[in-house]
Chains A and B, each alone.
Chain A
Amino acid sequence: MKFERYGIGIAKGLTVTIRHLLRHPTVNQYPEQRLNISRRFRGNELIWNREKCTGCGTCAKTCPQGAIEIVTATDMAENKYIVDKYEIDTGYCIQCGLCVEACPYEALYFSHNFECARYRRGELVQGKEEMLETPQRKVSGYFYPDKAQKLPGQTLLVEKITEKR
């Protein structure tokens, strides 16, 4: 004899909801509390290394969106290219990671930063100076396992979430 239909089902449901009431909620308070994102996060920004870049333009060629624009000049004395302009329109970026994988000199990385919202479309275009690595804009471990090792491990939602007031 099944009792599910005689009110036991309702009682079971009620115990489920009351158990949820008494346990920790599985959310976090975003601006105050932040979870660590994946170490191999493909962020919406790129980080460019000025020293390693040779200005070969491989990244611009592989980009399926054509979001990367690179202009170089020839430095005859040093026998190398000077990168005059390096610009990426992050509004067009699809985070495919092809440019990072294609770079032969390990000069391009994904950013570990995920708060890239802007008020104007024009602000999404990032130039040379904005793309450098800073303490705020860390390098993501995507495609570079040695970089990933240095980043903090990803936190899961259910761990240690308390209400912040």
Chain B
Amino acid sequence: MMIVDFIATGQGHFQAIPPDWPGGFWWHWLFFTVVVIGFVLTMVMGVIYIERRGMGRMQSRLGPNRTGPFGLLQPVADAVKVLLKENIVPAAADKLVHWLAPVVAFAPALMIFAVIPFSNGALLADLNIGILYIVAISSVSTVGVFMAGWGSSNKYSLLGAMRNVAAVVSYEIPLVLAIVGVVLIAGSLSMNQIVVAQNIPFILLQPLGFLLFFAAGCAEINRSPFDLMEADSEIVAGFHTEYSGMKFAMFYLVEYAEAVAISAIICTLFLGGWKGPLLPPWLWFIIKVMLVFFAMVWTRTTLPRIRIDQLMAFAWKFLFPMAIINLFITALQVLAGWPTQLMWAMIIVNFAVTAFMVLIWSRFFFRLGWGRIEV
């Protein structure tokens, strides 16, 4: 309504300030827009450093350590290098789509942070449907990736993009079902309210939900072991085969911005967001995001890439039924009032359920490659 008023009345007409925004909406908007963009860009540089150095050390290497102290300026060096490169557009490409794709992919990754609280109430827009907004917005990135695959007029690009679409369509379901468990306990869709409701981190109340969300989130943003859309050993570089220079840098940025976004969402939903003793809330938030991202790097280095049929099977035969059962159990517990009255019982029961379910499901219902050694 406000934005409609703003557009209707023209530029510079700041009458539409709602009374519940302290200091005026536009100051708030400006401040948090700058904060969000700065946060995303600096965090992307931070996580690239963590990823390259952490992965290097896990592979008995050092990782980049030449640029700046401890190699801290490596992301800057990479950015400068990639920006100075020639921008090549294939002759047969759909020029407009090829140009637009990086922007379409990047905007949603940035927009996710609009509803992520950095401190109590410190967020761009405290939507009462915050998590629903995230689920809706984050999928738009796939459109950008598909545009890139289609616009490149390269069969490998298209293959990679199609794989990404298939993965997102499949993994969205367990992802959302894992979120619903948290929402049931918190009793709100607002990200800030979810954090406020976490007297203890929800990972203790929802261990199975956390595992499901972590796996599905990694698949959603195509991180290894689910990075089939840019599987270099199969399809050159997937959707960004035909990209170079600035536009490639955008895709690189999207990849890590999405990883930061998923880490931030996991930290907000399951790890208590900005809550924590002693340190200021925003610092707790950043520490937790870094920890979650480190876990992603850790799994990335450890696990080999899975096949495309295994990717689908993992979503539909393992994550999906588990998510349904987790949701059902959580709903029963919430109905019985456990989250408020019998919290310790809920923790014990849910951890037991997690161990039991993973064991039973992998024993009797689903095994990656059905236990054959050669796959």
In the complex the two chains form, is A20's CB within 8 Å of B58's CB? Answer: yes
Instruction: Give the distance to chain A from B6, nearest Cβ to Cβ, in Å.
Output: 51
User: Which A residues are CB-close (under 8 A) to B367?
Assistant: 5
Given contacts A18-B298, A25-B56, contact A10 B65 (CB under 8 A): no
- Which of B65, B298, B363 sits near A163, CB closer than 8 Å? B65
User: Which A residues are CB-close (under 8 A) to B57?
Assistant: 20-21, 25
For chain A, give the interface size range. 10 to 19
- Which of A16, A163, A165 sits near B69, CB closer than 8 Å? A165
A27 to B65, CA, bound (A): 13
User: Which A residues are CB-close (under 8 A) to B299?
Assistant: 14
Q: Is A26 an interface residue (CB 8 A)?
A: yes
A interface vs B, CB < 8 Å?
A: 5-7, 10, 13-14, 16-18, 20-21, 23, 25-27, 29, 163, 165
Q: Is B362 an interface residue (CB 8 A)?
A: yes
In the complex the two chains form, is B61's CB within 8 Å of A25's CB? Answer: yes
A34 to B70, CA, bound (A): 20
A23 to B60, CA, bound (A): 8
A63 to B60, CA, bound (A): 42
A118 to B66, CA, bound (A): 24
In the complex the two chains form, is A6's CB within 8 Å of B62's CB? Answer: no
In the complex the two chains form, is A27's CB within 8 Å of B61's CB? Answer: yes
In the complex the two chains form, is A27's CB within 8 Å of B302's CB? Answer: no
Which B residue's beta carbon lies closest to that of A163? B62
In the complex the two chains form, is B298's CB within 8 Å of A17's CB? Answer: yes
A7 to B358, CA, bound (A): 8
A45 to B362, CA, bound (A): 61
B interface vs A, CB < 8 Å?
A: 54, 56-62, 65, 69-70, 298-299, 301-303, 358-359, 362-363, 367, 371
In the complex the two chains form, is A20's CB within 8 Å of B302's CB? Answer: no
Which A residue's beta carbon lies closest to that of B57? A21
Given contacts A10-B302, A10-B303, A13-B303, contact A20 B59 (CB under 8 A): yes
In the complex the two chains form, is B362's CB within 8 Å of A21's CB? Answer: no
A165 to B65, CA, bound (A): 7
Instruction: Give the distance to chain B from A18, nearest Cβ to Cβ, in Å.
Output: 7
A5 to B65, CA, bound (A): 38
- Which of B58, B69, B70, B371 sits near A21, CB closer than 8 Å? B58
A81 to B349, CA, bound (A): 96
Instruction: Give the distance to chain B from A46, nearest Cβ to Cβ, in Å.
Output: 35
Instruction: Give the distance to chain B from A154, nearest Cβ to Cβ, in Å.
Output: 20
